[in-house]
Structure 1
Amino acid sequence: MNDRKMEMLLGNLLRLGVLVSGAVVLGGGLLELISHGGQRVDYSVFRGEPASLRSLMGVLQGAVTAQPKHLIQLGLLLLVLTPVLRVALSALLFARLRDGTFVGITLWVLGVLLYSLAL
């Protein structure tokens, strides 16, 4: 695999990730507008988000049942995951090219990204 093919593959991954996450957010937003678009919003009392929107399993379970806010949250998670997948794919491609230096650097960057997401 040459550099051009590698760039195309990584670029297509980023495009696909952004398109998929955007479509999921758009779908969730449309569902939210359809179901609650005519309601009046009361900002006098603060209501935090439910716990199901603050955990990965809660988001996935809500998205499976097509709950609008959960779909929006899933789309945002997919958007954050896209560059992480790009770095992981880069590591695999560098390993395939047997470029140890870049594999090491890419794995280090992947570790930093995963560590920061875990916190």
Structure 2
Amino acid sequence: MQHEKFGEKDFQTIIGNLLRYGVWISLSVAFLGGIVYLIHNGSHIEDYSVFKENDRNIFEVITAVYNGAIQGNGSYLIFVGIILLFLTPVLRVLLSLFSFILEKDYLYVGITLIVIAIIITSISFGFSH
């Protein structure tokens, strides 16, 4: 019995499914959060005339979002949906990296590592002042 090699077509199928299901899951979570938010805050009018800056670091934000989502807070559920939507293409880049490593396409491994470094840098500086 011959073992089949895990090929590029398999990675393309996985990446396609990741993008498809990632978008649907993030949309579902955000939609559920919107429903919960409207049930609890539907009559509340938010005051957007004053911008409130957030001075928390990334770990405090992640902890707050996690705790809020676990408690069923609608606004945090919406935020989880947005985070999932953001992470979907990031995971695609990571899967592409593994695909390029298996294919021994080192030019694209290098390019993908640069893209990952840019993403990490952007996230890091986006939450620091």
Q: TM-score, normalised by structure 1?
A: 0.84
Choose which of 87, 112, 124 in structure 2 pairs with 1:118.
124
Match of 1:28?
Answer: 33
Please say if 1:9 is aligned against 2:14. yes
Q: For each residue in 1:54-99, what CA deviation from the matched residue of structure 2 results, as whole angstroms up to 9, or x when unmatched?
A: 7111111111111111111111111111111110110011111222
Specify the alignment match of 2:3 in structure 1: none
How far is 1:2 from its partner? Answer: 4.0
- Moved segments of 4+, more than 2 Å: 1-8, 42-52
Q: State the structure with bigger RCO (CA 8 A, min sep 6), 1 or 2.
A: 2
Gaps of 5+ in 1: none
Retained in 2: the 8 A contact 1:21–1:78?
A: yes
**Identity, % of aligned pairs?**
35
How many residues align? The count is 117
> Structure 1 46/32 Cα, relative in aligned 2: closer, same or farther at 3 Å?
same
Question: Are residue 69 (structure 1) and residue 81 (structure 2) matched?
Answer: no
SS in 1 for 2:34: helix
CA contact (8 A) 1:24 1:74 kept: yes
TM-score with structure 2 setting the length: 0.78
- Name the residue aligned to 1:78: 84
Residues 44/113 of structure 1: CA separation in 2 closer, same or farther (3 Å cut): closer
Give the CA RMSD over aligned residues: 2.4
Gaps of 5+ in 2: 1-5
Tell me, yes or no, if the aligned pair for 1:51 and 1:58 is still in contact at 8 Å. Answer: no
